[in-house]
Structure 1
Amino acid sequence: MKICLLTEGSYPYVTGGVSSWIQSMMTNMPQHEFIIVSISAKKEQEMVSRYEAPKNLVKIYDIYLDSFLEENIESGKRYDILDEEKEAFRSLIGGKEINWPVLFNLLVSDRIDSILNFLASKDFFDIVYDLCKKEFVHVPFTDMFWALRSMVLPLFICIQQKIPEADLYHSVSTGYAGVLGALAKHQYHKPFLLTEHGIYTREREEEIIKAEWIKGYFKDIWINYFYNLSNCAYEYANEVTSLFEKNREIQIELGCPREKTRVIPNGIDVARYNVKNREKKDGIHIGAVIRVVPIKDIKTMLQSFSIVQQELPNATFYIIGPTDEDLEYYHECLDLAERLELKNVIFTGEANVSDYLKFLDILVLSSISEGQPLVILEGFAMGIPYVTTDVGGCSELILGTNDAFGRAGTVVPVMHFHLMAEEIIEIVSNQEKRKEYGKNGLNRVRELYTIEQMISRYDSCYERWSNTTWPE
């Protein structure tokens, strides 16, 4: 079977949990061929893959959302847009019932010569004018025009790219990747599966609320727009999977039909990890396997370690992961560490995580948003307890879901660095508790979160839809 995986801001150019999951899926399903459609915010001078391509990855198609910068614009054209097409555009921004087939057919047709020309056309001007007149009478027209243009441009760039043909399409998020999955099903009449690691719309909503560049009255418009994109994916998907029950319930709450949803947890290759290889080093060693980006909230970790350092001066804190994804944030973290007068804080950059799992006493995760972090499962597989924020599926992994294994660490509220520090101090100071939590996590991952279980469930999912087509 030829499977097209649709990714956004992840594989193969960005490391992290989603990218590792994609690599694991392809590597452990040699019976299938895979195509990647990778959506990136911008084309860097050198887009370097962070992963060694498995033999069954036959092609990577790149979509760059800044590709419009290379185009010339011819403004003021007319495209003879039909009334139902105008209504579909208007509902994309201001409505709930969106006629996606009409939008798809227009944007992939030969009638639109260029997305930039269309967004500078008299037709688009008329669409924005009607929106302002009917629904946004208090918003200045010029502000609305440029805001809507910037809002829909990335989506339309994605839709205008030719999607490769495959037997099945699998998007690893909603958003732009999810809409492309819906478009592929619409065009080729092949099954479309959707997996959400985190809840895309909730993550975008948090970003929009915090964003200073979006004026107050546009925040609701942007948020509603991303909800509309997610609902497109939910509507077209044949099956929608999440990593844990809490996210499944959120999907249903957001409008995904319950009968489409199911839970397939993450899994790791437990055989790669051997607790017997652990070695005790002098002092206390605290680690975080993480990308240095704002959503991981490294600053809360550093503030937490400031308290830990006062109580346990022989402690060392390792922040293990790439630092080049957001250099401005990385330097802010370095400045904070200096202001806090932290000692023994090491930013390793990209590193072999296994080298650190051999001797770390405890692992920490302070994210603002997560799915079901693979790094927690990897820590468990080496018998290491975790202190995490209460986001995504972290509490389910740490505390269990009515299983018999007991807690494998502690969960604290987001950004509560003082509580995080207290829990770190409590666990590392109590050797019996540390061993007990580590053993519980090890037993839980061996029983419930293996790569064999995960691959079997997804392969069954693929086979279930493999021979399904829809009439044109």
Structure 2
Amino acid sequence: MRICLIAEGCYPYVAGGVSSWIQMLVKGMPQHEFVLCTIGATKDQRGVFKYEIPENIVEIHENFLDELMEGSFRTKDGRVLAPKEHQAMLDLITKDSVDWDTIFDMFGRGGRYKANQFLSSRGFLDIVKDACQEEYRMTPFNDVFWTIRSMLLPILNIMACSIPQVDVFHSVSTGYAGLLGAMFQHKTGRPLLLTEHGIYTREREEEILKARWVDVYFKQTWINFFAGMSRAAYHKASRIFSLFYKARELEIELGAPAERCSVIPNGIKMSRFQDIPPIADDGHPLVLGAVIRAVPIKDLKTMIHAFDLVRRRMPEAKLYLIGPTDEDPEYYQECLDLIRNLECTGITFVGRVNVAEWYGQMDILLLSSVSEGQPFVILEAMASHRPVIATDVGSCRELVEGNEDGFGPSGMIVPVMNPSLMARAILQLGSDRAMQRAMGEAGFRRVDRFYREEDFLAAYEKEYEEVKALGGRGV
């Protein structure tokens, strides 16, 4: 079988949970060929991969958002839009319900229109005028024109990309990747699978509400735009997977058909962690660890502040920050500056290492993220018999407290961006070796029962075979 994986902003350019998931999926299915269709941020990432590409990835189609924003606008398209085409494009800007099939036919491979020519056309100008009448009566026309143009340019350009010849399409998010998968499904009739690691629509909504570059008049427009792209993927997907049950509920709330939604959790290779020694009861100082990228979404600053509070009560405590520091050099420097300003000793940035070798050196794993899906690091800590203190994001509570599985808690959950409560949890758990070992054992039993790599691979193998047999009839 040949499968096209469609990935945005992650594999193979950026290390992280989604990228690790893709690498695990591909390497775990050597019997299948994979075509990788990527959407990266900038063209300087072309060919610069953070992962060794498995042999069964037989093609890589690279697309970059900065290139999708380029092009000449000198050639104008003088054709008049059909009423159906005009309405579809107007609805894309102003309505919740969008006729994506018409838009895919207009701009997809072999379509009537080229993005750059269309956005310089009289037809586009008429659409913007109608949008102003419907939604933006009090907003300057120029602002509306350039905002809508910047929204449409990348998605219309990406629709024109070549379509891989495969049996199944599989997007690992909604957004631009999900929209591309929806267009591929429409053009070929081949089935589309969709896996959401986080809820893309909600993540973009949070970013837009905080963003300074989005004028207040257009924040809701951008939010609706990304929500519309997600609904396109939901509508075209034969199967929609989330990593945990709360995410499935959110997908349904955002427009995914409930009968197509199911949960396939992450899985890990348990044998990687079988030789990790238990937590020693030898009176050693508390050792904390975080397997984490130095980027804002991981909120290292909250963890650093929490550790500073812990050191006042446990001056010999140590914190190891394990993972890459080169993804956002500015944020990494801010973290170093914070540590220096707090005069907080005991923190070490370890960098890229074999993380399995480090779990045995820590007593407790920390996670301070403001957004997560289903973190591999929690599963790995549980497989290592280590308790976890994590923020209440994504599936962290489900992983730590269990879904009424009877195993008991494998750590503690704290609110996001709350150093004092994180510090309190660290002090409570860090001073009780018996509790650490009990929670570590509960976590091990949970991950061994529900989150094994072989179960993850078997679930997706079954789905691939079923949708291939259905062809396009699964939609």
TM-score for both structures, normalised by structure 1: 0.96
Q: CA deviation at 1:112?
A: 5.4
Match of 1:467, SS? helix
Separation in 2, partners of 1:109, 1:443: 50
Contact 1:35 1:60 in 2 (8 A): yes
Match of 1:194, SS? strand
Contact 1:192 1:239 in 2 (8 A): yes
Q: CA deviation at 1:108?
A: 2.2
Task: Write the mapping of 1:258-337 to structure 2, written as runs, cut at 5 A.
Answer: 258-277=258-277, 282-337=284-339
Q: Paired residue for 2:174? A: 174
Separation in 1, partners of 2:69, 2:131: 27
Bigger mean CA offset, 336-345 vs 237-246? 336-345
1:435 to 410, 434, 437: 437
Q: Paired residue for 2:454? A: 452
Separation in 1, partners of 2:258, 2:127: 35
Letter in 1 for 2:227: Y
Q: Paired residue for 2:254? A: 254
Bigger mean CA offset, 258-267 vs 45-54? 45-54
Separation in 2, partners of 1:93, 1:348: 47
Q: Paired residue for 1:210? A: 210
Bigger mean CA offset, 73-82 vs 348-357? 73-82
Letter in 1 for 2:217: Y
Letter in 1 for 2:36: I
Q: CA deviation at 1:277?
A: 3.9
Separation in 2, partners of 1:72, 1:220: 29
Contact 2:2 2:34 in 1 (8 A): yes
Q: Deviations over 1:166-191 (max 9, x none)?
A: 10001110001111111111111111
Which runs of 5 or more residues in structure 1 are unaligned? Answer: none
Match of 2:333, SS? helix
Q: Paired residue for 1:400? A: 402
Q: Deviations over 1:265-314 (max 9, x none)?
A: 11100111125445759432111111111111111111111101111111
Q: CA deviation at 1:121?
A: 2.5
Task: Write the mapping of 1:94-173 to structure 2, written as runs, cut at 5 A.
Answer: 94-108=94-108, 114-173=114-173
Match of 2:80, SS? coil
Separation in 1, partners of 2:75, 2:153: 15
Q: Paired residue for 1:346? A: 348
Match of 2:5, SS? strand
Match of 2:118, SS? helix
Bigger mean CA offset, 126-135 vs 449-458? 126-135
Letter in 2 for 1:307: L
Question: Cα–Cα, structure 1 residues 271 and 109, in superposed 2: closer, same or farther, change >3 Å?
Answer: closer
Separation in 2, partners of 1:469, 1:335: 55
Task: Write the mapping of 1:12-23 to structure 2, written as runs, cut at 5 A.
Answer: 12-23=12-23
Q: CA deviation at 1:467?
A: 2.0
Bigger mean CA offset, 173-182 vs 74-83? 74-83
How much is the aligned-residue C-alpha RMSD, in angstroms?
A: 1.8
Separation in 2, partners of 1:188, 1:43: 28
Letter in 2 for 1:418: S
Q: Deviations over 1:297-334 (max 9, x none)?
A: 11111111110111111111111111111122122222
Separation in 2, partners of 1:109, 1:373: 37
Bigger mean CA offset, 429-438 vs 44-53? 44-53
Q: Deviations over 1:195-236 (max 9, x none)?
A: 011000000001001101111121111001111000001111
Q: CA deviation at 1:340?
A: 1.5
Letter in 2 for 1:87: Q
Contact 2:269 2:453 in 1 (8 A): yes
Q: Deviations over 1:381-402 (max 9, x none)?
A: 1111100000110000000011
Q: CA deviation at 1:110?
A: 5.0
Contact 1:35 1:58 in 2 (8 A): yes
Q: CA deviation at 1:351?
A: 2.0
Letter in 2 for 1:238: S
Separation in 2, partners of 1:77, 1:462: 42
Contact 2:411 2:439 in 1 (8 A): yes
Letter in 2 for 1:88: A
Which runs of 5 or more residues in structure 2 are unaligned? Answer: none
Separation in 1, partners of 2:90, 2:466: 37
Question: Cα–Cα, structure 1 residues 260 and 69, in superposed 2: closer, same or farther, change >3 Å?
Answer: closer
Q: CA deviation at 1:424?
A: 0.8
Task: Write the mapping of 1:52-91 to structure 2, written as runs, cut at 5 A.
Answer: 52-68=52-68, 71-74=71-74, 76-91=76-91
Q: CA deviation at 1:64?
A: 0.8
Match of 1:364, SS? strand
Q: Deviations over 1:245-282 (max 9, x none)?
A: 11111111111111011111111001111254457594
For these two proteins, the number of residue pairs brought into alignment is 472
Bigger mean CA offset, 136-145 vs 333-342? 333-342
Separation in 2, partners of 1:111, 1:30: 36
Q: Paired residue for 1:420? A: 422
Q: Paired residue for 1:411? A: 413
Task: Write the mapping of 1:227-246 to structure 2, written as runs, cut at 5 A.
Answer: 227-246=227-246
> Sequence identity, in percent?
46
Separation in 2, partners of 1:233, 1:8: 14
Match of 1:468, SS? helix
Bigger mean CA offset, 289-298 vs 117-126? 117-126
Question: Cα–Cα, structure 1 residues 438 and 160, in superposed 2: closer, same or farther, change >3 Å?
Answer: same
Separation in 1, partners of 2:64, 2:141: 29
Letter in 1 for 2:255: G
Letter in 2 for 1:167: D
Match of 2:348, SS? strand
Separation in 2, partners of 1:350, 1:324: 10
Match of 1:44, SS? helix
Q: CA deviation at 1:46?
A: 5.7
